Copies of this chain bind each other. A is one copy, B any other.
Amino acid sequence: MVTAAASTEQKHLGEINLRQVWDVLRPQLVPATILTSDRLDEMVGHGIRLHIVADTFQHTGSFKFRAALCLALHAPSSRILTASSGNFGAALARACRQTGKECTVVMPAKSAAVKVENVRRYGGTVDLVDTDRMTRAERVAQLHAQDPSFQVVSAYDDPFVIAGNSSLGAELFESDTYDCVVVAVGGGGLSSGLVVARDQLGSRSEVIGAEPAAGKANRSLQEDRIVTLEREPATIADGARTLSLGTLNFAILREGLEAAVPVEDATIGQSVRLLFEAVNLKAEPTGALGLGAVLQNPERFAGRSVACVVTGGNVDAAVFAKLITG
C-alpha cells in the first residue's frame, strides 16, 4: 500500500498552514470556472440552483495539479514515484518539471490514451500495469524495492495532497453561497481537501461525495471502516477506480462528509451529455460524477443551491463522441 508514512516527511496535516499554502499556490493556479445555466436548472428541475465548478481548465486539465504542485514544492527528494489513473500523473509530471524534479508514474494499462500521452508530454516516465494481475500499489512497491532512491507519493493519501486540493475549497467557501457541494470521490483526495477548507473557513455548506456504483466510500461511511474493493471497478469514471479511500482521507471524511452517493454509469453518461448540451462544457466521465449524483436523486437537493465540482476534462475524443451522441 502507498501510505502517508511513505510520503513527504511524514508531516501531519495539522502542522500545515493551509492559508499559507493557498497564498503560495494561488498565483500558480487557474481558478475554477463557476458556471450557471438557466437551461440546466430547467432540465434538472426540483428548484435546484446549480453551480458548475469546473476545474477542467486547470493546468493539465484537472484539479490534480493543485495537489501535485503542493507535493512537488514540499518533496525532499528529487525523484518521485506514484500510482495514478492518469490525471494525477500528468499533473505531477508538470509540477515536477516546474520544480526541477523527475517522476515515474504507474498507470493502469487500460487508461485513456490521452492520459498516458499527457504524462509523457510533461517529461514524466510511464510504467503501465495490468490491473487484473497486480494492483497499482503493488507495482509501486515493486519499483520502490528495486530503487529505494524514489520518494513514493500517493495521489490522495498525503497531507500535502489534501492541502493542495483544499485550495479549490478555498475558492468555493470564501464566498460561501452554496447549501452543498457535490464532488467525485476516488481515493478521497479532493473531497477531504474540500472538507478541511470548509472547516478552516467556518462555512456550513454540506460536502457530499459521488462515486461509481461499485464504489467503496458509501460502504466505508456506513461501516465506519475503510472498505477495500477486491478489484478496480469497471466504470467509465476512470479517475475513480481506486480500491479504497486513503487512511488520512477516511479520517477526514468520516467526520466531515455528509454522504457518498453511488452513481450508475448510465447516469454519469447522461451527466456528461447534459454538461455538453446545457452548459457548453467538456467534462470527463469522472468529472461528471458530481452532477450525476444530483441527477440520480434530485429530491435530495430540492430547492437548494448546489455546487457540482467538475474535476477534470481529459477524455479521449472517441469516448466523448460516443457519450454525447449516446
Contacts and interface: CB of A to CB of B under 8 A. Distances in A.
Contact of A279 (B57, B114, B280): B57
Interface in A289-326: 313-314, 317-318, 320-322, 324-326
B314 A318 contact: no
A29 interface: no
Contacts of A326: 317
Contacts of A38: 59
B277 A114 contact: yes
B317 A280 contact: no
Interface in A18-73: 30, 33, 35, 38-39, 56-57, 59, 61
A319 to B, nearest CB: 10
A11 interface: no
B56 A273 contact: no
B282 A61 contact: no
Interface in A256-282: 273, 276-277, 279-282
Nearest to A121: B39
Contacts of A318: 325
A204 to B, nearest CB: 28
A69 to B, nearest CB: 14
Interface string A213-224: 000000000000
A276 B282 contact: yes
Contacts of A281: 57, 282
A280 B61 contact: yes
Given A33-B57, A325-B318, A313 B114 contact: no
A21 B70 CA distance: 43
Nearest to A54: B280
Nearest to A320: B324
A313 B280 contact: yes
A318 B279 CA distance: 17
B57 A273 contact: no
Nearest to A313: B280
B33 A277 contact: no
B325 A317 contact: yes
30 contacts: A30-B35, A33-B33, A33-B57, A35-B57, A38-B59, A39-B121, A56-B280, A57-B279, A57-B280, A57-B281, A61-B280, A114-B277, A273-B317, A276-B282, A276-B317, A277-B317, A280-B282, A280-B313, A280-B314, A281-B282, A282-B282, A317-B324, A317-B325, A318-B325, A320-B321, A320-B324, A321-B321, A321-B322, A321-B324, A321-B325
Interface of A: 30, 33, 35, 38-39, 56-57, 59, 61, 114, 121, 273, 276-277, 279-282, 313-314, 317-318, 320-322, 324-326
